Chains A and B, each alone.
Chain A
Amino acid sequence: MSIVILRFAAALYFVAAAAYIAYFARPRYRRAATAGFWTLAAAFAVHAAAIGVGCSEFGGAEFFSLRGGVVLIVWLITGAYLVLQRYYGLPAVGAFVTPLSIIVLLPALFGTPGHPGVPPDTLRYPSITVHVVSVSSAIALFAIAFGVAIMYLLQEREVKGKHFGALFSRLPSLDALDRLNQRLVRAGFVVYTVALIAGTLTAHAIWKNAWSWDPKQVVSFGVWFLYGAMVQLRHSGWHGRRYAVMTLIGFAIVMGSMVSSRMLPGVTKHSGDYGTNPPAEVTQ
């Protein structure tokens, strides 16, 4: 049932993306941007319903699979973008973030949703809910930062290369993109910190060991250090291109670790049975 609702939400995402792209192609049509915003808001609401129904269907087990994670992250990206658009009003960003959401969401729509096993009771800790939600939120913020960084680099190429073509006039100013990127990275870092703390507490409870050199743990702390460094470097005055490139690298690592920990069973305790014994029926 939830997959049907989700597909409906995806259709709305398509419409919103089309509206934002139409606005980007012809900035004269300001109404397209407005239409994009409200369609996206509708998609967000429908998506929320899909997640709600999914929770009641699978008891939250969905979010232990890559598919469920993606569904949650796209929903959070959309929510975060809607808030951003409300306060900063950069509809051009929508033309980058919305299609990105669709691409991420696409496999979740056509892949067989399957029936994720109910999480083993050993995983039922409040801290794990906090961990999953906060890590998804952080990834959502990093994802938007990724989109904004791409826009920055495109615009930088235009400005520097003296092109002054279509992109030049449509993309926001470098300074606006740079500041937005910084805000997103900073907010993402704070949420990510919460996620790591919750994750550590959960690890301590389930694995009886807060730090077990699990590859996922190592990569996650690496990511945390990277984004932390970015926040810190900003205070000591880093701007511009390097910042955008670091945003891209950070997000690539986040995505890589997220996907590979699911695709390569047995490498990390974040896959399969989550290091619980006896093995439980947690499918991808």
Chain B
Amino acid sequence: MSGRELFLVGLSHKSAPIEVRERVALTGDALKNALAELRSVEGVGEAFVVSTCNRVEVYVQAEGEEAACRFFTSRSTAATEHLYLKRGPEAVRHLFRVAASLDSMVIGEQQILGQVKEAYGLASAVQAAGGYMSRLCNRAFATAKRVRTETEIGRGITSMSQVAVELVQKIFGDLKGRAVLLVGAGKMGALSAKALAVLGADRIFVTNRSPDRGLALAAQVGGNFRSWDELPRLLVEADVVIVSTGAPTFVVTREMAALAMKGRKHRSLCLIDLAVPRNVDPACAELGDVYAYDVDDMERVVAQTQEARRGEAIRAEAIVEAEVMAFSKEREARAALPVLAQLRRQAEQIALAEAERTLAHLGQKLDDKGRRSVEAMARAIVNKLLHGPTTRLKHAASTGDDGLPGAAAELFGIDDAVPGEPRTSQAQPAAPAAPAPASLSKH
């Protein structure tokens, strides 16, 4: 029996630095060519490649991992020492974990599932992935979906700008009709302002000590530049103030905030201080309806999320484990089916041939109805005889006992008990290149 199984060769943010990852990462046509190349190797049935900025992983259903290894070594010799190799259920588990975002840099992030789906879609489009990969990937997607709905792994906030957005959302709902003020031309401030754009702020003001950089930033974020002296008045006008200057002292003092609150008639004011050393006096938070946050506060939220997600990841791993098991069982059940089909086909052929002979002997003595009865009897005998073996084979396969299908094949003299996948088996059933779904548990 040809022993094809799933092999994974890859590297990720955990095993390789970015310099290596970027050298082997592929997109678009280059990826299509690489898939075609993989597929052309003798002994490789199906293949697909996940290539993101954090990982490059080659999944092949093949007799060995050499082709997948060559994918990396031909692109970068430095990659060799960072590669990991997994096979069989190990490789299946790895794919499921990747799709469920358990192997991601930020556990629970949402993008990876889309990236895996895209990778499978591409491989499927160029015919590198067929029936086996289809079942494998769909199971992986289903696993990811289960993990997302049954655990809270996707909850919480994972970046500083997201924290800012979340905070602003919980204070103001959205920013329609409200104004955002950027104090200082720091890069973090610009990033946060961009993140806040999703909340639809009406006006963005930018103020900076040096007008040149302030004007440049204002143009970049689509805001109006105001001179530095206007800051106290701007605090009355703006609802969200993002401060990131290089100043060593407080730029927004408690007195300024208190004065601004009078002018604001206690409309809420959100002060986000992204500067280190801090630019907003923490005492501002003591004022009613003023919400002030510094870098530490925001980082704490990110850390909290990571903590919570690690807890959820334990529950997610259990789901992955169950799905890997279910997938193996399904595979084994499928592996037994060809034996059954073959057995039944053979038996039916014999039965019908015998019926034919009998009918030839009887000649014209029987009418059509009688002929049909004889054929039906032949089939009925086959069915009755095969009923026991059928149920037992199916049961053995589903419980992971892979000895019985083999024994049955041997006993009944079925030579190719494991024909290829439907996709190719019709075209070339006996050709060795036909992908043979070897049971995953055989190794």
Contacts and interface: CB of A to CB of B under 8 A. Distances in A.
A and B co-occur in one complex = yes
Given A239-B265, A240-B266, A175 B172 contact: yes
Given A28-B149, A162-B293, A155 B170 contact: yes
Interface in A158-174: 158-160, 162, 164, 168-169, 171-174
A155 B172 CA distance: 12
Contact of A173 (B171, B266, B297, B301): B171
Contact of A242 (B166, B167, B288, B297): B288
Interface in B117-140: none
Nearest to B298: A162
Nearest to B239: A175
A176 interface: yes
A174 B172 contact: yes
Contacts of B172: 173-175
B395 interface: no
B171 A159 contact: yes
Interface string B275-307: 000000000010011010100010011001000
A170 B173 CA distance: 13
Given A28-B149, A239-B266, A242-B266, A174 B171 contact: yes
B265 A238 contact: yes
Nearest to A28: B149
A236 interface: yes
Interface string A145-159: 000000000010011
A157 to B, nearest CB: 11
A241 interface: yes
A171 B264 CA distance: 25
A239 B265 CA distance: 7
B218 to A, nearest CB: 26
A247 to B, nearest CB: 15
A241 B267 contact: no
B110 interface: no
Per DSSP, chain B at the interface is: helix
Given A162-B297, A239-B289, A173 B170 contact: yes
B164 to A, nearest CB: 12
A279 interface: no
Contacts of A169: 155
A240 B293 contact: no
Interface string A112-129: 000000000000000000
A245 to B, nearest CB: 10
Most chain B C-beta atoms within 10 Å of own C-beta, residue among A164, A168, A173: A164
Nearest to B288: A241
A28 B167 CA distance: 21
A167 to B, nearest CB: 10
A174 B266 CA distance: 13
B173 to A, nearest CB: 4
A162 B170 contact: no
Interface string B259-274: 0000011111000000
A237 interface: yes
Contact of A164 (B171, B266, B291, B301): B301
Contacts of B268: 174-175, 239-240
A174 B166 CA distance: 12
A175 B267 CA distance: 9
Nearest to A162: B297
Contacts of B253: none
Nearest to A179: B173
A160 B285 contact: yes
Contact of A159 (B149, B157, B288, B291): B291
B291 to A, nearest CB: 6
B210 to A, nearest CB: 32
Contacts of A240: 266-268, 288-289
A241 to B, nearest CB: 5
B40 interface: no
Given A174-B172, A176-B173, A238 B266 contact: yes
Nearest to B304: A164
B399 interface: no
A155 to B, nearest CB: 7
Given A162-B297, A164-B304, A236-B265, A241 B173 contact: no
B169 interface: yes
Interface in B160-213: 166-167, 169-173
Contacts of B285: 160
A262 B167 CA distance: 46
A237 B266 contact: yes
Interface of A: 28, 155, 158-160, 162, 164, 168-169, 171-176, 236-242
The 6 closest A-B pairs by CB, nearest first: A237-B265, A173-B173, A240-B289, A175-B173, A175-B172, A239-B266
Interface of B: 149, 155, 157, 166-167, 169-173, 264-268, 285, 288-289, 291, 293, 297, 300-301, 304
Given A174-B268, A241-B289, 20 more contacts: A28-B149, A159-B291, A160-B285, A160-B291, A162-B297, A164-B301, A164-B304, A168-B170, A171-B170, A172-B173, A173-B169, A173-B170, A174-B171, A175-B172, A175-B268, A237-B266, A238-B265, A239-B265, A239-B266, A239-B289
13 contacts: A158-B170, A159-B291, A162-B297, A164-B166, A164-B304, A175-B172, A236-B265, A237-B266, A237-B267, A239-B289, A241-B266, A241-B288, A241-B289
